[in-house]
Structure 1
Amino acid sequence: MAQYIKLYEENPSPKEIKKVVKIIKDGGLVIYPSDTVYALGCDITNNRALERVAQLKGVKLEKANFSFVCEDLSNLSDYVRQINTSTFKILKRALPGPYTFILPGNNNLPTVFKKKKEVGIRVPDNNITRAIVRELGNPIVSTSIKDDDEVIEYTTDPELIFEKWEKLVDVVVDGGYGDNVPSTVIDLTGDEPLLIREGKGSLKI
């Protein structure tokens, strides 16, 4: 049975953040708010937790397109190959914000992602998410949670999310109502930025 922890974005309680992070460090799965939709995540360094996330999404871990959620751009070089100045300027302008940027991965990627040439990077404009990642000390692997309902693609009510996921994950963070529009995905691995999915982020960056 998952824990249900309420946090306020203006001022997330450090004590509650520590509680959430302890669960993540122990290999737990977390559902948390972002600046777009609610997402499912785990510690990027925990293979067993990564396997569980992949299983819940019904995908093979090595083929999964999970995003890495970072606190800011300072961890970028941990997982991303050297990027040029114009790419960095785009990232600097857009982040934190509702974007997922696909960038060339480097050799430091966790073992399960070693075969991947690219990695999706997120720095959400949400204090709760960033406080969790800061306290954890490394990125969380993340994937949006979809709804089974054909009409509503993403559930925005954390209490309904908890009802659905309480037996599948270890903690649900209630950060208030979420959005129902996912992040804008932009591929920055080529010569020109390439729009993969239009979402909440503006295309003028």
Structure 2
Amino acid sequence: MAKYFDVHPENPQRRIINQVVEIVRGGGLIVYPTDSCFALGCALGNRDGIDRIRSIRQLDERHHFTLMCEDFAQLGHFVRIDNAVFRSVKAATPGSYTFILPATKEAPRRLLHPRKKTVGVRIPDHVVAQAILAELGEPLLSSTLLLPEEDKPLTQGWEIKDRLDHVVDAVIDSGDCGTEPTTVVDFSGGGAELVRLGAGDPSRFE
């Protein structure tokens, strides 16, 4: 059974955040809130966690996982970014955007798009997500919690606990999340290509 943590949305309890991070470090798979919707997350080197996310969401090898980063400095370790792209991404973070960029050698190979060698990265504008990332000290390997054959992500922690109780290790609930995933912008070809319209305002990249 998954552990259930009720976290204050503005002042996350440090004791609970520490427990969540210990689960992640111990190889666990968590569901946590972001500024767009709930996400599945595990440690970068957690191969079993990756496989579990693929199984829950029924994803193929072409799916772009996201590295959820605490800040821009951390993001820069895992993707290559030139000056023009840097300015565009910097201006939109933190926020409800995922950026697809060429990966550096620091990015785990299992996470890369098999042909493009790219990876998705983002910096969330969410107090609880940021508290988890700050305590963890590295990105969370993440994917939007959108179940197969469903049009909308789950928005309530209790429902997630009920439905995924035996396939995840913890559910972190700080209140309802939104139903729109991030806006996805692909910079791997040089210019900005809008891949998915979502919670982030796309007009700055059009």
User: TM-score normalised to the size of structure 2?
Assistant: 0.91
Number of equivalenced pairs? 202
Task: Output the amino acid matched with 2:193.
Answer: L
Aligned partner of 1:56 in structure 2 is 56
Comparing 62-71 and 25-34, the one that deviates more: 62-71
Q: Quick check: 1:172 aligned with 2:171?
A: yes
Q: Which structure 2 segments of 5+ residues have no match?
A: none
Aligned partner of 1:126 in structure 2 is 126
Structure 1 residue 105: deviation in Å? Answer: 0.7
Distance in 2, matches of 1:146 and 1:57, equals: 7
Distance in 2, matches of 1:27 and 1:37, equals: 23
Maintained 8 Å contact 2:57/2:147: no
Structure 1 residue 103: deviation in Å? Answer: 0.8
Change (3 A) 1:103 1:149: closer
Change (3 A) 1:149 1:104: closer
Comparing 165-174 and 7-16, the one that deviates more: 7-16
Aligned partner of 2:13 in structure 1 is 13
Matches within 5 A, 1:66-85: 66-81=65-80, 83-85=81-83
Task: Output the amino acid matched with 2:72.
Answer: L
SS of residue in 2 equivalent to 1:134? helix
Aligned partner of 2:88 in structure 1 is 90
Distance in 1, matches of 2:107 and 2:67, equals: 10
Distance in 1, matches of 2:120 and 2:37, equals: 16
Aligned partner of 2:98 in structure 1 is 100
Maintained 8 Å contact 2:57/2:146: no
Change (3 A) 1:149 1:157: farther
Task: Output the amino acid matched with 2:175.
Answer: G
Distance in 2, matches of 1:147 and 1:58, equals: 8
Task: Output the amino acid matched with 1:92.
Answer: K
User: TM-score normalised to the size of structure 1?
Assistant: 0.92
RMSD across aligned positions (CA): 1.7
SS of residue in 2 equivalent to 1:124? coil
Comparing 179-188 and 84-93, the one that deviates more: 84-93
Residues 15-69 of structure 1: CA distance to partner in whole angstroms, max 9, x if unpaired?
A: 1100000001000000000001111110112222222222222235x54321110
Structure 1 residue 178: deviation in Å? Answer: 0.7
Structure 1 residue 148: deviation in Å? Answer: 5.8
SS of residue in 2 equivalent to 1:190? coil
Maintained 8 Å contact 2:37/2:153: yes
Residues 128-171 of structure 1: CA distance to partner in whole angstroms, max 9, x if unpaired?
A: 11111111111111111124675x51121111111101111000
SS of residue in 2 equivalent to 1:204? helix
Structure 1 residue 127: deviation in Å? Answer: 1.1
SS of residue in 2 equivalent to 1:185? strand
